[in-house]
Amino acid sequence: MYYQIKDTLTTCSAEDITNRKIPYVANISLEEFEEKKSLFDMGIDLDLESESDDITDIQVNYDSLTGCFAIPDFTSIESPPHTFLFAIDERGIVILDDDGTAQNILDGIQASKRWKFPSLERFIYDFLEGILAGDLISLEKYEKEMDQMEDRILAGNLDGVMERLVDIRSELLDLRTHYEQLIDLGQELEENENAFFSSKNLRFFRLFIERTERLQSNVTALREHTMQIRDLYHSQLELRQNRNMSFLTIIATIFMPLTLITGWYGMNFTHMPELDSPYAYPIVMGVCLLIVTTSLIILKKKKWF
């Protein structure tokens, strides 16, 4: 797809982008770029098999800016990101997209954006904003999930909590890295080393950087939240273990005197006069019952259970 940046993102033909007065956007495959490279006159080679195609980065060339976008999939952060290459000069931007991610962003811009002062810088800003679209909502979902995890922990349901918490921490680390890369990209654009952009429009890149920094701060706060949940989990786990130990201690305390009595009567003594008494066995049973009852009363008063 080929577009011209007018008051809206306007679809055009490949030949129309040679108009040097109107900035253009081309979203094509690498094969098509190789076929029509002369239209763009950038003098660059783009390689989709680059070793860094899983990260977002940008390089400054003599007559262009080239790089790669790697956009995480919030439905599965740990899966490979959506990647596509790009090249920018003062006339426009070429996007090499094979999985449709960039095209979805372009469709959204074309459907919803209308510019009073159209420019390449404003388009790039809206495109970068499209990359971040929905990120805040997704981060809020993480926050709600962690709040629910806290409630589960306080309710004593620890099953599967730590496993999911480890996954969340890993996903948030990937997102923090993603935002760091976007910030670096925005700063490179704002620096405008090749003077491709109008100085009055560099503010768009500053706005993008500030928004990305806020998202990165949210991710940092969420990672700190995971630390708090981890501490709460360990506290509840220790509390559960302490309760188990208290229960075992109560059982041991109650059965200690009973074990002593059993030990006495398990000895092979001949001269134990109570053995000849018909009331000896009931009396011993009563004494054992009295010991158990007394122990429970004392432990209850001391609030051991």
Write down the pLDDT at residue 48. Answer: 43
Stated as kind and residue range, the H or E segment containing 87 is strand 82-88
List pLDDT tens digits, range 5-25: 899 999 988 888 877 788 988
- CATH code for the domain defined by 1-133: 3.30.460
pTM of the model: 0.76
Q: Are 299 and 250 in contact (CB under 8 A)?
A: yes
Give residue limits of the domains in the chain: 1-133, 134-254
pLDDT digits (tens, 9 = 90+) for 123-171: 999 999 999 988 899 999 999 998 988 888 888 888 888 888 889 898 8
* Cα–Cα distance for residue pair 204/17, rounded to 1 Å: 24
Averaged pLDDT, 29-34: 79
Q: Would you place residue 274 in the very low, low, confident or very high pLDDT band (cuts 50, 70, 90)?
A: low
Arithmetic mean of pLDDT, 255-284? 73
**What pLDDT was estimated at residue 286?**
82
Residues 263-287, mean pLDDT to the nearest whole number: 72
**Sequence-separated (6 or more) residues with CB below 8 Å from residue 254:** 291, 292, 295, 296
Strand partners, 93: 25, 88
CA pair distance 257, 265, nearest whole angstrom? 13
Three-state SS at 272: coil
Proportion of the chain above pLDDT 70, given as a percent? 92
Residue 293 tokens read as 């009852």
pLDDT in tens, 85-133: 888 888 888 888 878 888 899 999 999 889 888 999 999 999 999 999 8
- Average pLDDT of the residues in 207-214: 94
Residue 288 confidence (pLDDT):
80
